[in-house]
Structure 1
């Protein structure tokens, strides 16, 4: 695979990693390369190399990694609250953040989907002449959104759906399973149940406490500083409605790095402008010194001071203010 991919046009660097049951190759291209064409070429190279892979290997895939869509801010929710409250708050905050202009998505990690845990009592199941498969299919069939056709008003047309989703523990246990004459067998007659959460597939911790993290990514071309400021304003507004024990903190704030770089750039430009002005002033003074008393020590001192100042700024990047005069001796 590496031998085939090394021949790609515009390839800058190739990195590969391999472990038991998995291998990946990262390709970095030179600036200015047509990425769409590079992906097509890479897929062609992979297709050529597929014949060399083991027979039981999965189909290789080629995926573009766009650094501009990486998270620019992480919001960590934690506190002494039950997981249901933490999960519900994270999902509400996700909807609020993704409604902000410039935000691509707010991906949640550390969360788990809610599920119903139903424990069947075998003796009751047998007494009502029911099978476990019948009960499972019946519950699954009652927990779905049913399409009921369309409503045509003449001016417009709407699709109708009948919600049949089970949302609470009581909804589940009150499901009728079987009818025998005037007697209706409910799911609660043969089983017990409770709402719980799936087994975790990812974990998030803040200072050792369980948390849920939202990774905020911006849209390509959007202003990172303005986007993050808008997200922070939304978080501050939403947090006023949270329980007292629920708190948040922000990590991975890319706007801080951008602002620091901009401030450094501004200082460097300002320093360079000041040095240019000093050189211009020094040049005019030097002209006066050349037509007057050129041997005046003050004219030489200005000259050496400006040169020393320029070297100091070049070496340390510091900003120096100078106010000096060169007067002729009367």
Structure 2
């Protein structure tokens, strides 16, 4: 069989060369299309359901949130396992699907079932899906260098400008903010004054919520002109909160400032982000979507950051905390370097031992074609170009080289013996 294949290849050299060229071209196309990452994605095919109910204990979260969700999500088709986790004020449900299930089909099925399961949860509790990214989706971290802004101003800049801009980059599932303070109005209530005016704490909360609102009126026409009447009531300053009326005491309105004080502060924090021991910083973590090209997404993020940086306040710049593209480029350069080094080494060895440049050329041609064919199979099976797969290709190059040298040397020996026998036969006849 092998002999027959070799005979057909020798008789149709042009066809073999064209096939090799087509294989190499398709391999180059697969290299450009195949997702490039540094770390192989071995995470499970999962959808995360996150529910927040602040102030409740883990046992209450388990009984009233996690258990109803897990019980109702079990009927989804093609589920492998469901895991629930309850902690103070938060619930996490991990729905593990079979490996061949499309992740967006799975998210749609989970979302459909959540619409039914939500009626079993306490009033006002809204479960949400986690980002469509994997456990290795954290591809890029950055922080702000803003010496003229405090941590609250930096966090506001990150949450309301930078985050929204970077989320528009193709392939980005989420931009998670970290560090700084989330600004909020804080009401410090005096319980003695509440008791004096006969006002409950719930009355204060409801009045503040009701007064932070815009209301619409009707259209008013006058002199061929139409005017829209609206009541503008959104809170814009600390003074607006202080002047909210809570009740009536002997004909005199009782305001928020009469029962306590209002201040600007930061939300409760469970930790800080420190940079090299020089102080706290504010920044974001970019999470990549499933099956995206990490190298391409990171390049798009850097281009977008250059545009965003033009709109930042004076003196504010981006600093990179973690960039996976550096590791990706090093892995690619390692494979390139290995390929070039082995091609040079093989050429020298073949030329020294055989003194035949055509034999060396045969081995040099099969190396890039073999590597290109490897990327074709990576693309067909949906495997990304990462450290593991690229290392496998680099190791396989040595096997290809050994095989090429053995085959060429064997063919060279057989041809030499055949020529020697032919010359001896001619000499005997003479």
TM-score (norm 2): 0.45
For structure 2, the residue ranges without an aligned partner over 5 or more in a row are 1-57, 59-75, 85-90, 97-131, 218-229, 359-396, 399-430
Aligned equivalents of 2:191, 2:155: Cα separation in 1? 34
- Determine whether 1:263 maps to 2:308: no
Higher helix share: 2
* Shift, 1:261, TM fit: 1.1
- Determine whether 1:252 maps to 2:252: no
2:154 aligned residue: 86
* Shift, 1:189, TM fit: 3.4
Aligned equivalents of 1:163, 1:225: Cα separation in 2? 48
For structure 1, the residue ranges without an aligned partner over 5 or more in a row are 1-20, 22-36, 51-58, 150-160, 289-312, 315-330
Q: Is the 8 A contact 1:71 1:217 kept in 2?
A: yes
1:203 aligned residue: 272
Q: CA, structure 1 residues 286+206, in 2 after alignment: closer, same or farther (shift >3 Å)?
A: closer
- 1:77-133 CA-to-partner distances (Å, cap 9, x unmatched) read 354431221111211211111111121111112244333221234565455443443
Higher strand share: 1
* Counterpart among 228, 233, 239 of residue 303 in structure 2: 233
Q: Is the 8 A contact 2:133 2:287 kept in 1?
A: no
Q: Is the 8 A contact 2:194 2:259 kept in 1?
A: yes
Aligned equivalents of 1:172, 1:123: Cα separation in 2? 20
For residues 46-57 of structure 1, what are the structure 2 equivalents within 5 Å? none
Aligned equivalents of 1:165, 1:195: Cα separation in 2? 17
TM-score (norm 1): 0.56
* Shift, 1:183, TM fit: 4.7
For residues 41-190 of structure 1, what are the structure 2 equivalents within 5 Å? 41-43=80-82, 62-64=94-96, 67=134, 69-80=136-147, 81-91=149-159, 92-121=161-190, 125=194, 128-143=197-212, 165-179=234-248, 183-190=252-259
Aligned length: 238
Q: Is the 8 A contact 2:175 2:287 kept in 1?
A: yes
- 1:260-279 CA-to-partner distances (Å, cap 9, x unmatched) read 11112112222333445556
Aligned equivalents of 1:83, 1:276: Cα separation in 2? 59
Q: CA, structure 1 residues 184+68, in 2 after alignment: closer, same or farther (shift >3 Å)?
A: closer
Aligned equivalents of 1:287, 1:100: Cα separation in 2? 51
Q: Output the aligned Cα RMSD.
A: 4.5
